[in-house]
Chain A
Amino acid sequence: MERKLVCISCPLGCRLTVNWENERNITVSGNRCAKGESYATEEILAPKRVVTATVAVAAGAASATSAAAGRAAAGPAATGQTAAARVFTSGPRRLPVKTNAPLLKEHISELLNTLYRMEVKPPLRCGDVLLKDIAGTGVDLVAARSLKGR
């Protein structure tokens, strides 16, 4: 069998041609790197996607992000307590999250449903695992930014 694909591993978007007789004998052409071959093989056997989404940050729990923003005042004249309080009240309401590897497509909608009900509490570091081993796939859901605690 033959199928034409466009590689989604990077912005180059190589046009791939995949040929296969059976699951063990898949040949890929048109790729400019090894990622193209593994993408095409997976796409035929078990398509996967990285999922990026957001989850709710528990109300009143977040403050601004990493070092620079934490150190900076909210405007030149704001100092000490005022600045901290101000940054706190305007802290992010949503935490961006992602799967740390492509997830089998069949598990995506269930994962999204879980995320709608999820709420996280800072402090969190970028890369912290929020859900481990999604549907037994070995793929984790991780925080895609840091959030300082109260």
Chain B
Amino acid sequence: MREKRTDAVVIGGGSAGLAAASRIAAAGYSVTVLERENELGGILNQCIHNGFGLQRFKQDLSGPEYAERFIDSVGKQDNVEVLLETTALEVSPGAVHTVYGYSRQGGVSRIDARAIVLAMGCRERNRGNIGIPGTRPSGVFTAGLAQRLINIDGYIPGRRAVILGSGDIGLIMARRCTWVGMEVLAVVEIQSYPSGLTRNIVQCLNDFGIPLYLSHTVSAIHGKDRVSGVTVTPLEEGRSMGAKSFDLDCDTILLSVGLIPDNELSRKFGVRLNPETGGAFVDAGLMSSIPGVFACGNVLHVHDLVDYVSEESERCASFVIQYLKGEYHRQHHPVTAGANVKYVIPNKYLPDTTNRFYLRSLIVKNKAELVVTLDGEPMKRKKLSHVQPSEMVSFSLDAVDLPRTSEPGEKRLEVSIV
């Protein structure tokens, strides 16, 4: 077994891990990145469409281009070691944490580090998560798997597809499937509004005349060896209208029905998880319930834009650096989700400094308002032109609005949408 000691271990070499590793290394600390795949870049490698980097680089990049900028920046730093095709198996937390990694080539390696950054990203919800009745033929894929098959491996997963769920990956795949010669019969969405960005409805569905059935669901999958069709059922006021069902004749079903932070490893070593996000509970420095263990990117909460993942991960890295210097600020106050808010990240804030928050709405509303209260007293309002659960909201609070470190006791922030 190979053994080594490093300042920080970053688990996952995708957009979050790369941004964090690069920033930590730039401060002079040694970093080891564990990446399960044979290349860095994570899910960006298969997201060949454009639309990345508009915020960060003010340029319209494809996923691989966005990834390459971060891969190059990590590659330029001598104090980053990247272990490819290496899966983090186990972490045993302590004053110094130990991470066990496994690779087919190198066997088990043991890495001791004072800080760990969880950057494992997320997984797709699949057929089991949503329980679609029917037979169990081949031809049912998650949208991301189909994306990998087409864009990385060069296989076309079928001929006639129905896409369930109107998340961005589903919409992007509707266009991609069409462009590789498949026929996309429909996108079926259970909600009364699309869950992906409007621009993707325009350029991925409308451009190709692909119908979007809102308030509809796939109520059965047919076929023995291969999918032979699906039954689509409309919903009215939450009730399924069986009599109005219709069948679509397809050989492929793509599921774009949500993402779940991939925290199997974190759960195993005792990181406290938030059921609302599926990610770790974190303080204002994105540190989990275990001192020295941080989380950023989609493993913390699912983001809509990679630009936000990079931003959050670099902020996370700045707190890791403070931790490694022994200067980590430990006085944190609680943040809670109020009315119409699914969650707020982080779960704590720091006095005396600017804090940045990300949240998701539970409601769809135009001309909404974000309301922040401090111990029940209103302290900040912000107008939001449009909110919906699929679009993350971010905001900052300035030091002047927050309590002083010198003030005793805890002051609770609550964030609501009205």
Contact = CB atoms under 8 A, between A and B. Distances in A.
B48 A126 contact: no
Contacts of A90: 38
A64 B106 CA distance: 18
Contact of B72 (A67, A92, A94): A67
Interface in B170-213: 179, 197-199, 201-203, 207
Given A6-B199, A66-B68, A87-B38, A76 B75 contact: no
- Tell me the dominant secondary structure on chain B's binding face: mixed
Contacts of B50: 50, 52, 98
Contacts of A31: none
A9 B64 CA distance: 19
A18 interface: no
Nearest to B54: A10
Interface string A11-40: 101000000000000000000000000000
Interface string A39-76: 00000000001111110100000001111111111111
Interface residues of A, number: 46
B81 A94 contact: no
Contacts, number: 148
A90 B104 CA distance: 13
B201 A6 contact: yes
Most buried by B among A52, A73, A78, A90: A52
Interface string B224-251: 0000000000000000000000000000
Interface residues of B, number: 52
B153 A72 contact: no
15 contacts: A10-B199, A11-B305, A52-B48, A66-B75, A67-B76, A72-B83, A72-B84, A73-B105, A73-B106, A75-B86, A75-B107, A76-B2, A76-B103, A92-B152, A93-B154
Interface of B: 2, 4, 38-41, 48-51, 54, 60, 62-65, 67-68, 71-72, 74-76, 80-86, 101, 103-107, 109, 150-154, 179, 197-199, 201-203, 207, 304-305
